[in-house]
A and B are shown apart, each in its own frame.
Chain A
Amino acid sequence: MAVPVAAVEAAPIDWEVPEEQVGLWSDAWVRFRRNRLAVLGLGLVTFLVVVALISPLLVHFGLIHSPFTQQVESIETGPGVNGHPFGTDILGRDTLARLMIGSQVSLTVGLLVQGIIFPIGLTIGLTAGYFGGRIDNLLMRFTDIWYAFPDLLFVLVVVSVWRQGGPWFVQLIPIFGAIALVNWVGLARLVRGQVLSIKEKEYIEAARSSGSPPLKLILKHLLPNSLGPIIVTLTFGIPNAIFLEAVLSFLGVGIQPPQPTWGQMVADGVEAIYANPTAVVFPALAIGFTLLAFSFIGDGLRDALDPRMRR
């Protein structure tokens, strides 16, 4: 072809990278923000985290009632009576203060359990998916059987055996253990599936043929590319863990009084429901809307991180 040399020189190729690069995370964030419910959920969760962090301070400075003080003159009062905005419970303790302090337990369980599940599920899933063979077979057999055993029953059994006294975060240890024990299996299975499907992609083949050692292959290619679904699963794990803790408290085998938890407050409120129904309504709504907020965030993340939905 007779391309004039002068013309090629006249139009040099523009090598400059555009100022704003749209990467996976910023792209996902843009799409997450577009989901109104997810943003609402994130707002609610942020609010809850702030409440959980500052409520001990508020109690310390006397801005809200102490969740442990029993006021004999105002037992089972409705909202707004005697300076209790949400009323009091059967022992005359302020419902608002107990709700605020109780949020610490729910959030701790929800978030920390994922912190336990993540390394375990990830390691086992990656190993099984990458090396396959006998480890993989063992994992799949194990998870098949595990799935047939309902979470709640297992957690109840474990907690009934491992229950112990002490401050509330010590009492939480067996609960953490039990919830993590039922949930890591799901994550391991998901990671395995991800690894299996990514392993066959061309870029992995390219990396391997250019001599990447297995560890580098896993950490640099397999892990970052399967991170999206892992994050989504962990996010949905948060409401599940909060739910399980709330049920345990409700059934009376969770955190023991005097530390308030939402599940326990519902159980106590049901006992005296005719005297003061609001003692049930507030903690019940707190549990429901917290779980709803986390599942909105999970839905938003799933839509934002799913590469198949990209424009």
Chain B
Amino acid sequence: MIPVVFFVIVITFVLMHSAQGSPWDKAGGRQLSQVVIDNLNKKYGLDKPVWEQFLLYVWNVLHFDFGLSYQYQGKSVLELIGGGWPYTATIGVLAFAMIVPIGVGLGVLAALRQNSRIDYATMGFATFAASFPNFVVGALMIVFFSVLLYKWTGGDFFLPAGGWGVDDHLIMPAVTLALLPIAYTARLTRASTLETIRQDYIRTAWAKGLSERLVVVRHVLKNSLIPVVTTLGPTFAFLVTGSVIVEQVFTIPGIGRAFVVAVTSRDYPMILGTTVLFSIVIAAANLVVDILYVFIDPRVRLT
């Protein structure tokens, strides 16, 4: 986990310093005077050699100091991220709460009724959801649930197209964010369940006269869910990168939107800080999944 985060810092840091021009260049004719530029460079530590800046940055990150934002003068990166995280986390947790039950449920159902209508419908949905990007799904949902539904019901029932405030604001972003991971989880659960129900011990369970419920819950699910746990790591990555898009579609003032603003305005400390933070979150999620695996699957041992 630590080498991953370190590597991300190195790559992003090198990229940021490969940018042409200085962050103080202004569009248009009027440039800042040399004295002002020198003072700004001093304030942000840009007057030191690059390697020293890098060591200083790593040292600061270790102390949870991500520097100051270029764009919002006087605000630190950590303040900006701290202002956004409640929004991002709320949507993320809601989406995560949908992914596991819906994805696993659909997958198991499809596998148990293989080649039935439920199976085809689930797989069709999974194919569509895996191909349609988040922002396309989000935009189409706004068209349907905000614009058309408003027209059809004469304004009695509709979902807000964006913003933050009431619970209604959470529905579409959370669903949009969860759709792709649900599709992946459903596909994987179906495949692993199909493999499990062909095992000898499942035949034994049927043969000794267990009810369908018991066979499924105690014997099938327990074994077919093992590979699904591995996807929880990538699911976290989905949620993180998805938040960047979803928050832009539904105008939610979270970290993802702050990241996009930083990217468009080239606020390098903010880009660097957010990227490092995202990679820490994802690496930590992967670590947790790896540890979980040891407890769930007796065949895996920590070495």
Contact = CB atoms under 8 A, between A and B. Distances in A.
B282 A150 contact: yes
A284 B241 contact: no
Interface string B128-142: 101111011001101
Interface string B271-302: 10001001100110010000000000000000
- Find the residue from B16, B128, B133, B161 having the highest chain A CB count within 10 A: B133
Interface string A222-241: 00000000000000000100
A284 B136 contact: yes
Given A157-B12, A239-B131, A247-B245, A150 B237 contact: yes
Interface stretch (A80-88, A89-97, A183-191, A288-296): A288-296
A243 B133 contact: yes
Contacts, number: 120
Interface in B4-29: 4, 7-8, 11-12, 15-16, 18-19
Contacts of A156: 244, 259-260, 263
A37 to B, nearest CB: 9
A287 B237 contact: no
Interface string B219-261: 0000000000000000001001100110011000000000110
Contacts of A154: 11
B266 A160 contact: yes
B132 A280 contact: no
Interface of A: 145, 148-154, 156-162, 239, 243, 246-247, 250-253, 263, 266, 269-270, 273-274, 277, 280-281, 284-285, 287-288, 291-292, 295
A267 B240 CA distance: 21
B154 interface: no
A251 B240 contact: no
Interface centre among B19, B136, B161, B263 (most CB of A within 10 A): B136
Contacts of A281: 140, 143
B139 A266 contact: yes
Nearest to B263: A160
